[in-house]
Chains A and B, each alone.
Chain A
Amino acid sequence: MFAIALKMLFHDRAKYLGLVLGVAFSTLLINQQLGIFIGLITRAGAVIVDVPEADIWVMDPGVKNLDTIFPLRDTELGRVRGVPGVAWAVPLYKSNVIIRTGDGELEASLLIGVDDSTLIGLPPEVVMGNIDDLRRPDAVAVSVEGFRKVWRNQPLSLGKIAELNDRRAVLVAILKDSPKFTSSITFFTRYSHALQYTNNGRNQMSFIVARSAEGSTTEEVSRTIVSRTGLQAMSAKDFRWKAIMYVVQNTGIPISIGTVVALGVLVGIAVVGLMFNLFVLENLKQFAVLKAIGTSNMRLIGMVFLQAAVVGFVGFSVGLFGATMFFETAGKSPTFQGFYLPWYVAAASGAVAAAIIILAALLAMRRVLFVDPAIVFRG
């Protein structure tokens, strides 16, 4: 009977295509929008991800995210280092600077200053150059996307001269960093050197990044830092989550993307539900014939669910393929770096597609169950 069910489904090609496209459109929209959403909000914690050595972040008690920073006094670094359970602690500087591009245009850029001696705070992946060269005068490193934006249409190379806040900077390394929320250009240099580019006043230290000693938990050490210094301290994971939640709670991103996702689900339910219902309605006499000649209700339900499952599977596969191709092709654009399709978004959209198709099948199933087989005798 299942072979017959499939032949019934594939026979009306226009309707089959409509059903598949309904599920595919819904799947594509959900995956594309949620992928962008995840990509956007994870950018909010990108600076934290780029310092994998540190498991504790210390900052002013009022700091809510990575962009609204109140500098700490240099003496705080010594206090944090003295807290039991802290293996090491180093300063991290973060500020915005203006960079003049190779074309003479001005661009906003992020400047990260890392510990002078250990260079902790640099992203781990070096694309070109040697990070030890950052110890040379005026030396800076730049992110790959930053290089492409500052020196447009030029191959990656070292030794370039840039102007950061009107001060000379020599490029000695190119690093692969995480895409940031506010700028795609990120420069890295030593902490002491970073201060010379900005010189904002007496207190300059944006964050202290630290590592908990073996045998101590991150949470314990963070609590101790808070009680001993009065500063805010938390695990890197918690701070990243806090930065993400700040974006979620204080921007229109979740509402706007959520609306599009909801529309995708609604359109999916409406199109697939109505069209599948129409498909079953048009085939109702065929189901009645099968019923009259001895097909049980259970087998008819099985046929309807098989038809729905095939529509759901093919539609979901097409939609997922479309979403994957979108991220694959759009991801090559420098401004789209870091956007991807997480597996859990694909799984969630699969669940939504399954729900849409089950709902459509349940609606249609009623008709099949209650169709009177005696209608076959009515001309």
Chain B
Amino acid sequence: MENQIAVECRGVVKDFGTGSTKQRVLHGIDWQIPIGATTFLVGPSGCGKTTLISIIAGLLTATQGYVRILDSEITKMRRGRVVRFRADHLGFIFQQFNLLPSLTAVENAAVSLVVQGSTLASAKRQASVLLDRLGMEKNKLKYPNQLSGGQQQRVAIARALVHNPQIVISDEPTASLDAETGREVMELLRQVAAAHNRAVIVVTHDNRIYPFADHIATMSDGRIESFQKNTA
């Protein structure tokens, strides 16, 4: 299964600004991310990691090159289709969790299904099952400000997975967590995300969680320097 490609980037270039203020952030990225594996994207701050995953997620457009996701070329899609594509095929986990403070844990976890068109009630039923699996049985009706960082990240994981996407993009998922909670979250992520034949892309600085990676891509100055199987 790992031989199948979830995401393929070819010659991806990204410039910000125009004229004299133009700055090239990505210099022709070629990269293939396999299905059924957890792939880490690592590198120093400002090397272009966030820009690259934003382009893969269709949140930014590439200046040159293309990104193919699950055989669909996202860089050629019209904006409306990209938005729909994200709702159907991608799940997101953010560094700051980005839960909606006005929603309970189960409602937050249900949001991805609601975005797809489910009613809140039916989405909550599915989200509730997933939160149980993530050990959040007793906290489902709590609001984000009543949850610890680790609990909030579990809710964010549930939100990213509840609609069963093929690709999960996770940006610094452990950056706001202590080491122990970070390891728990990564373990969960590996169990519930990667185990279901998904491609999980994790952008991180946190070398303590490198053991959870199947592949590690190292970025530097807008280029992928290396991409190899993790032997750690």
Contact = CB atoms under 8 A, between A and B. Distances in A.
B97 to A, nearest CB: 10
Interface in B67-113: 80, 83-88, 90-92, 94-96, 98, 100-103, 107, 111-112
Contacts of A252: none
Contact residues of A: prevailing secondary structure: helix
A376 B86 CA distance: 14
Give the top 3 A-B pairs by smallest Cβ distance, nearest first.
A294-B87, A11-B102, A294-B86
Interface string B142-174: 000000000000000001000000000001100
A278 to B, nearest CB: 16
A194 B86 CA distance: 88
16 contacts: A4-B107, A7-B102, A10-B102, A11-B102, A12-B102, A286-B102, A291-B83, A292-B86, A293-B86, A293-B115, A294-B84, A295-B83, A377-B50, A377-B53, A379-B96, A379-B172
A376 B94 contact: yes
Contacts of A295: 83, 87, 115
B59 A8 contact: no
Contacts of B87: 293-295
A373 interface: yes
B28 to A, nearest CB: 21
B57 interface: yes
A374 B175 contact: no
A285 interface: yes
B114 interface: yes
A340 B203 CA distance: 67
A345 B55 CA distance: 54
Contact of A4 (B96, B98, B114, B116): B114
B60 interface: yes
Contacts of A376: 92, 94, 98
Contact of B94 (A7, A8, A377): A377
B120 interface: yes
Given A294-B87, A294-B90, A8 B100 contact: yes
Given A7-B100, A293-B111, A377-B54, 9 more contacts: A1-B114, A1-B115, A4-B107, A290-B111, A290-B115, A292-B59, A293-B87, A294-B86, A294-B112
A292 B114 contact: no
A10 B103 CA distance: 11
A4 B82 CA distance: 22
Contacts of B98: 285-286, 289, 376
A14 interface: no
Nearest to A378: B50
Interface centre among A3, A374, A377, by most chain B C-beta atoms within 10 angstroms, is: A377
Contacts of B116: 294
A368 to B, nearest CB: 14
Interface of A: 1, 3-4, 7-8, 10-12, 285-286, 289-297, 372-374, 376-379
A374 B103 contact: no
A8 B94 CA distance: 20
Given A377-B171, A379-B175, A292 B84 contact: no
A365 B56 CA distance: 27
Contacts of B95: 377, 379
A378 B59 CA distance: 13
Interface of B: 50, 53-54, 57, 59-60, 80, 83-88, 90-92, 94-96, 98, 100-103, 107, 111-112, 114-116, 120, 159, 171-172, 175
A289 B57 CA distance: 13
Nearest to B159: A293
B76 to A, nearest CB: 18
B174 to A, nearest CB: 12
B80 A3 contact: no
Contacts of B85: 294
A296 B116 CA distance: 10
Nearest to A287: B100
Nearest to B172: A379
A64 B88 CA distance: 75
A11 to B, nearest CB: 3
Contact of B100 (A4, A294, A297): A4
Nearest to B119: A3
Contacts of B96: 379
Nearest to B171: A377
Given A3-B120, A374-B54, A379-B175, A293 B112 contact: yes
A7 B171 CA distance: 27
A10 B101 CA distance: 11
Of the candidates B83, B90, B175, the one having the most CB atoms from chain A within 10 angstroms of its own CB is B83
Contacts of A289: 94, 98, 100
Contacts of A1: 114-115
B111 to A, nearest CB: 7
A304 to B, nearest CB: 15
A285 B115 CA distance: 16
Contact of B103 (A7, A12, A285): A7
A11 B94 CA distance: 23
Contacts of A285: 98
Contacts of B92: 292-293, 376
A35 B219 CA distance: 71
A297 B159 CA distance: 20
Contacts of A286: 98, 100-102
A135 to B, nearest CB: 76
